[in-house]
Amino acid sequence: MKPFDGTASYIATPELKIAVNAALTLERPLLVKGEPGTGKTVLAHEIAKALGRPLIQWHIKSTTKAQQGLYEYDAVSRLRDSQLGDPRVLDIGNYILRGKLWEAFTAEAPPVLLIDEIDKADIEFPNDLLLELDRMEFYVYETRQTIRAEQRPLVVITSNNEKELPDAFLRRCFFHYIRFPDEATMERIIDVHFPKLRRDLLRESLTMFYELREVPGLKKKPSTSEMLDWLKLLVAEDLPPEALRTKDGKTEIPPLYGALLKNEQDIHLFERLAFMARRERS
């Protein structure tokens, strides 16, 4: 089996590679946590790309039920059809809608199944999927058939820690926590995304970015993905590095800050800090 070794567009730390390969070899779901915007969802895309496997995505919402991932029996359509005298009504199989897990279990090549933001769902959601993820099979009562995965898909599960996951579920997963990248890693990440970025602009923007993350009391610290968005804007606007830093100011509000600061409290906080810094200087 081909081991995962990062891709041209995704910098994977050694620990992340160990985690992905362990999940692949052990055939266990990989549970990925980390600050928002550190590339949890992208990881699944990149694994699929690196291993040449199809990607099946299941995005979880607060209303998602575990059963929807297996299959759904559309009783309402069947009832309506029966009232209208539709002949389709005789075969119950016509009203079974396949879910993402079914899709993943029956795919021709073993796919990568992304279960995105599992913590958004109800607290019982992970428990309802225990057996299905463990044995990679489930039973369809309506048609009395068992769906079984011939080749086990690699399951990548992401969580933002909004809810605690049940122990029984965690026990079956391999766990990886994506830490916020340090400056060196960040530089490599940016390099991958903006290969032709001017060195000085990179330095200035990185310094500014890490300074911004250090600002106490920010409601939402800017993340890797926001850094990349911001750089994209800086490049598009063709700003010189000097524009990032006024000659005497550390806490000037950065240009195009909208990409980094996402709520008005943070912007107010930052403006007040900048104001105080100016007042101290004068």
Partner 1 sequence: MFTRFFVALRDAKLPVSLSEYLTLLQAVKLGLADYSTENFYHLARGCLVKDERNFDKFDRVFGACFAGLESLFDAIEGEIPEEWLRSLGERLLSDEEKRVIEALGGWDKLMETLRQRLEDQKGRHAGGSKWIGTGGTSPFGADGYNPEGVRIGQAESRHRRAVKVWDRREFRNFDDTMELGTRTIKLALRRLRRWAREGAATELDLAGTIGATARNGGLLDLRMIPERHNKVKILLCLDVGGSMDDHIQICDELFSAARSEFKHLEHYYFHNCPYERLWRDNRRRDQAIDSWRMLNGYSADYKLVLVGDAAMSPYELMEPGGSVEHWNAEAGAVWLQRMLDHFPHAVWLNPTPESHWRYTQSTAIIRRMLGERMFPLTLAGLDLATRSLNH
Interaction site with partner 1 (CB under 8 A): 14-15, 18-19, 21-22, 25-26, 28, 31, 33, 63, 76, 79-80, 83, 164-165, 167, 170-171, 173-177, 179, 216-217, 265, 269
CB of 15 to partner 1, least distance (A): 4
Structure tokens belonging to residue 275 = 């104001």
Nearer to partner 1, 173 or 234 (CB): 173
225-230: which pairs have CB atoms within 8 A and are 24 or more residues apart? 225/37, 225/38, 225/39, 226/37, 226/259, 226/260, 226/262, 227/186, 227/190, 227/260, 228/189, 228/190, 228/193, 229/259, 230/205, 230/256, 230/259, 230/260
Smallest distance, Å, CB 229 to partner 1? Answer: 26
**Residues contacting 154, CB < 8 A, separation 6+:** 23, 24, 30, 47, 51, 53, 110, 111, 112, 113
**CB 122 to partner 1: min, Å:** 9
CB closer to partner 1 out of 195 and 217: 217
Specify the residue, 112 or 259, whose C-beta has the smaller distance to partner 1. Answer: 112
Identify which of residues 27 and 187 has a Cβ nearer to partner 1 in the complex: 27
In whole angstroms, the minimum distance from the beta carbon of 116 to partner 1 comes to: 18
